[in-house]
Amino acid sequence: MGKDVIIACDFASKEEVLSFLDKFQGKKPYVKIGMELFYAAGPEIVREIKTRGHKIFLDLKLHDIPNTVKKAMHVLSSLDVDMCNLHASGTVAMMEAALEGLVRPDGTRPLLIAVTQLTSTSQERMESDLLIEKPLDQVVLHYASCAKKAGLDGVVCSPLEAGTVHANCGKEFLTVTPGVRFADGDVGDQVRVTTPAKAKEIGSDYIVVGRPITAAADPVAAYMRCVSEFCD
């Protein structure tokens, strides 16, 4: 599986995201559409970006009873997205149901990856709010192995965790990793960050990069810099 850079298109409207993508003349970067844009612009924005020739990771992080998630995934796969996700904490049964829902009439389906523990969850919060008392890195690996058991394709995790996830779940089990910054760039609100080159070295399969590209003076140059550090 080839490595790729996914641009997190965290924009609030259709106009903003389309004018951003217009800058990429002749290039078709892999795009992540998250809750903000999807809830603002609806399924139509997914169809429109797909029609323009981009691959799409639809990052809606589903979590509900298995039957509801299965039916929701069925709707999402009909949008012809390339990757979507859910919370591993919804249980193996929910993840299995999600996979079933994703299969299209022609037998194809988008990749399905699981969020383990959100990077915004600290050890302290996990213990106090979720009553999970194991070490966070162990919880992440356990959730990743549950995702693998359910038949999923991989997990969203920190690039710093990509190596241990591969060691535990196999080389083919995908690691999709946000929290990427250029060595000379702003960290912003991300805490555990690494550079595209380091993410490659640790073994990430896809890096998800938002503001270092979307807020750059020259977004296309920033994207190309990520590609050359991570993919080449």
Active site residue ranges: 61
Q: How many Å separate Cα 81 from the centre of its chain?
A: 12
Closest contact distance (angstroms) between CB of 104 and ligand C5P is 26
State which residue, 8 or 41, has the beta carbon closest to ligand C5P: 8
State which residue, 70 or 180, has the beta carbon closest to ligand C5P: 180
Count of residues interacting with ligand C5P (CB under 6 A): 15
Selected from 118, 167, 183, 191, the binder of ligand C5P by CB under 6 A is 118
Max Cα distance, the chain (Å): 50
**Which residues touch 80 (CB under 8 Å, ≥6 apart)?**
47, 50
- Buried b or exposed e, range 48-71, using 16+ CB within 10 angstroms: ebbeeebbbbbbbbbbbebeebbe
For Cα atoms 147, 198, 138, give the angle at the middle one, nearest 5 degrees: 35
Residue nearest to ligand C5P (CB): 210
Selected from 136, 150, 209, 222, the binder of ligand C5P by CB under 6 A is 209
Beta bridge partners of 6: 30, 208
10 in contact with ligand C5P (CB under 6 A): yes
Instruction: Scan residues 162-181 and list those touching ligand C5P (CB under 6 A).
Output: 178-179
Beta bridge partners of 180: 194
113 in contact with ligand C5P (CB under 6 A): no
- What gap in Å lies between CA 209 and CA 134, rounded to an integer? 30
State which residue, 12 or 118, has the beta carbon closest to ligand C5P: 118
State which residue, 179 or 196, has the beta carbon closest to ligand C5P: 179
- What gap in Å lies between CA 198 and CA 8, rounded to an integer? 19
Selected from 31, 156, 202, 226, the binder of ligand C5P by CB under 6 A is 156
198 in contact with ligand C5P (CB under 6 A): no
**Which stretches of the chain bind ligand C5P, using CB under 6 A?**
8, 10, 34, 118-119, 156, 178-179, 188, 190, 208-212
